[in-house]
Amino acid sequence: MSSISTRYGKSSEFDSFAVSLHQCLKRHEQALEDEGLGKEVRELSRWIERAYGGSLTALEALEQHGPRDLIELKDRVILALEEQQRIAEESPAVNRRKDKEQQKYADALHDVSEALDQLIKVVTPANIEAKKGDQGMKLVTPVKDGQPTDGSIGEESRAKVAEALSGMLASTYSLYVKSLFYHWNVTGPHFHGLHQLFEEHYQDLHEAGDDIAERIRAIGHFTPGTLKAFGKLSKVEDDDELPNSAEDMLRNLKTAHGVCASEARKVLNVAEEVGDEVTADLMVERMRFHDEASWMLGASL
């Protein structure tokens, strides 16, 4: 294979990891096809074959599939793996055959993710900078994108905290939307006071959501950021229709704040277990807010 620019790492490393990835893709070809990744996998396999066979220079290969393309594919692989894990948790296999099938997909996605990660390390320049807009809102995914992360806790521990925080973020956002919905539509003799109270709460929730999301990013993970993702992760129940009275709004919000306080306590336990003091402090503040909000809403009934 043509020698690769030193800017992108040693040629021997590129050769080794490219071949390893190619073998991994071939080994798990059917499982990846079943996961809807067949087209991308076939294209990447052809790219490796051409580069390794000498019909494509190393730099031409990198122009076709640079670090960002490989990272995007890895993100898709990890999202598929997370979906497999979710299915396994929500619908446990009822027989050995089904269990082996689920494990086959999980093993395939994990192996490909690891192989991609090795190649990404080689082809990513040390000084590469993420372009603005690249940090799109995605499901929580372990990343190694050159961004600063909290190195005080291990990678596995960061993943646990990020997963717990993602649920907290989704519940926070759901409660933010609920509070805003009620702020817009509350009526009755106590309109002014409740209108103002709901506004104070949704403003706090908006800022809190930003703090939680930034903490997830600080420990090296992407945040959830779609309504579909929030709907799956949130423990706060959405409204099918506008409540009949201000009293019903107060009861709904009180319940939702209790849910969020419970979520914050769960995240706190995870953070304390792995020694993540920053996240623990953040959750103490969220518990304080939700407990106080529940008291104020209950007192307004």
CATH number where 180 lies: 1.20.1260.10
Q: Is the same domain home to 75 and 191? A: no
User: Which of 123, 139, 168 is the last residue in one of the domains?
Assistant: 123
Q: In this structure, are 282 and 183 located in the same domain?
A: yes
Burial readout 131-164 (b: 16 or more C-beta within 10 A, e: otherwise): eeeeeeebbbbbbebeeebbeebeeebbbbbbbb
pLDDT value for 140: 38
194 domain residue, yes or no: yes
Among residues 99, 123, 147, the one where a domain terminates is 123
Shared domain check, 285 and 160: yes
In a domain, 31, yes or no: yes
* Same domain membership, residue 163 and residue 83: no
For residue 15, give its domain range: 6-123
Q: Same domain for 41 and 173?
A: no
* In-domain check, residue 137: no
Query: 268 and 195, same structural domain?
Result: yes
Number of domains forming the structure of the chain? 2
User: Residue 180: its pLDDT value, please?
Assistant: 94
pLDDT, position 156 = 86
Kindly state whether residues 106 and 168 are assigned to the same domain.
no
Q: Confirm whether 215 is domain-assigned.
A: yes
Q: What is the pLDDT of residue 34?
A: 76
Are 199 and 266 in the same domain? Answer: yes
Q: Are residues 115 and 160 in the same domain?
A: no
Whether 292 maps to a domain, the answer reads yes
Residue 111 domain-assigned (yes or no): yes
Question: Where among 73, 108, 123 does a domain terminate?
Answer: 123
- Please tell me whether residues 115 and 201 are part of one structural domain: no
294 and 189, same structural domain?
A: yes
Note whether residue 142 is domain-resident: no
**pLDDT value of residue 119:** 64
Q: Is residue 135 situated within a structural domain? A: no
The one-digit pLDDT tens for each residue of the chain (301 residues) are 333 333 333 445 555 666 677 777 777 777 777 777 777 777 777 766 666 555 555 445 555 555 555 666 666 666 666 666 666 666 665 555 666 666 666 666 667 667 666 666 655 544 333 333 333 333 434 343 345 466 668 888 889 999 999 999 999 999 999 999 999 999 999 999 999 999 999 999 999 999 999 999 999 888 888 888 888 899 999 998 999 999 999 999 999 999 999 999 999 999 999 999 999 999 999 999 999 999 999 999 8
Are both 202 and 266 inside the same structural domain? yes
